[in-house]
Amino acid sequence: MKKYLSFFRLRFTMGLQYRAAALAGIVTQFTWGFMEVMMFRAFYRSDASAFPMSFSATASYVWLQQAFLAFFMVWMMENEIFDSIINGNIAYELCRPINLYNMWFSRSMATRLSRAVLRCFPVLGVAFFVPSPYGLEPPADFFHFALFLVTLVLGFAVTVSFCMLIYFFTFFTVSPQGLRILFTSLVEFFAGAVIPLPFFPENIQRIMEALPFAAMQNVSLRIFSGSMNEVQMQKAVALQVFWLLVLTAAGKLLCRFAEKKVTIQGG
């Protein structure tokens, strides 16, 4: 456990170095959030009764999504891992007395966390002062906030464990391009990154909510803005735990299989 923690710390401090990039990211995220809120406003003005959740809840959803982008965007994967699989550097990793899965897991978590830490506070801070209903509304009570934090961590872990599957699939396909493109666009759509899940028609939404992708950003962002009732929350958290276990188990299995079959590319 200790070695993975130090891997984590190493990557985390490394990620914190990229402050100029983070500043540019903050500007981008803020503009994105602003435009998204304006877009929803236009739909709200056209037909308020068709809105599946309150407008301020939608705005909060958008702002949180922008603030925690680094937690949930599947396309932010570690290029170094892909490179090592392609160019054969993976051989060095395999020599080390460590578990590959755990190391990459802690490493991905650290990179994403460092990015999120640098970016989330300015975005959240500004969004908080945007006049209501366009800004970020605080959650209804402490219970919702606590549950938000718990589900945020769970969703983050589900996202990372899903990315791990893609890394290990690359062992078999060698070129990661196709897999990455396919999975990232798939996840974006089903996770509610294109439009929040409540905006989908009910029968489609019911299917989507059972998929692992809904266990990523959907749950925590909706709990924060209070657009889930108690039964829905219980179900959603249970599903999150379930998918985290399934995805991690699948990843570990795939890892063992890949390690046995590994072909080293390059010299």
Q: Which of 194, 210, 238, 264 binds another protein (CB under 8 A)?
A: 194
Q: Which of 6, 13, 17, 28 binds another protein (CB under 8 A)?
A: 28
Asked if 199 interacts with another protein (CB under 8 A), we say: yes
**Candidate segments 3-11, 28-36, 86-94, 137-145, binder of another protein by CB under 8 A:** 28-36
Asked if 52 interacts with another protein (CB under 8 A), we say: yes
Q: How far is the CB of 257 from another protein (least distance, A)?
A: 24
Asked if 50 interacts with another protein (CB under 8 A), we say: yes
Asked if 175 interacts with another protein (CB under 8 A), we say: yes
Q: Which of 4, 15, 25, 57 binds another protein (CB under 8 A)?
A: 25
- How many residues bind another protein (CB under 8 A)? The answer is 33
Q: Which residues contact 5 (CB under 8 A, 6 or more apart)?
A: 106
Q: Which of 93, 200, 235, 262 binds another protein (CB under 8 A)?
A: 200
Asked if 31 interacts with another protein (CB under 8 A), we say: yes
Question: Which has the closest alpha carbon to 174: 262, 102, 75, 78?
Answer: 262
Question: Which has the closest alpha carbon to 152: 221, 70, 230?
Answer: 221
Other beta carbons within 10 angstroms of residue 130's beta carbon come to: 16
Residue 10 phi, psi dihedral angles, 5° rounding:
-60, -50
Distance CA(17)–CA(115), nearest Å, equals: 10
Q: Which of 1, 2, 42, 92 binds another protein (CB under 8 A)?
A: 42
Exposed/middle/buried for 124, CB within 10 Å: 0-12, 13-18, 19+? middle
Question: Which has the closest alpha carbon to 247: 186, 163, 161?
Answer: 161
**Cis peptide bond prior to 133, omega within 30° of 0:** yes
Measured at the alpha carbon of residue 78, what is the angle toward residues 77 and 81, in degrees to the nearest 5? 130
**With respect to another protein, which residue has the nearer C-beta, 16 or 103?**
16
Residues that bind another protein (CB under 8 A): 20-21, 24-25, 27-28, 31-32, 35, 38-39, 41-43, 45-47, 50, 52, 175, 177-178, 181-182, 185, 188-189, 194-195, 199-201, 204
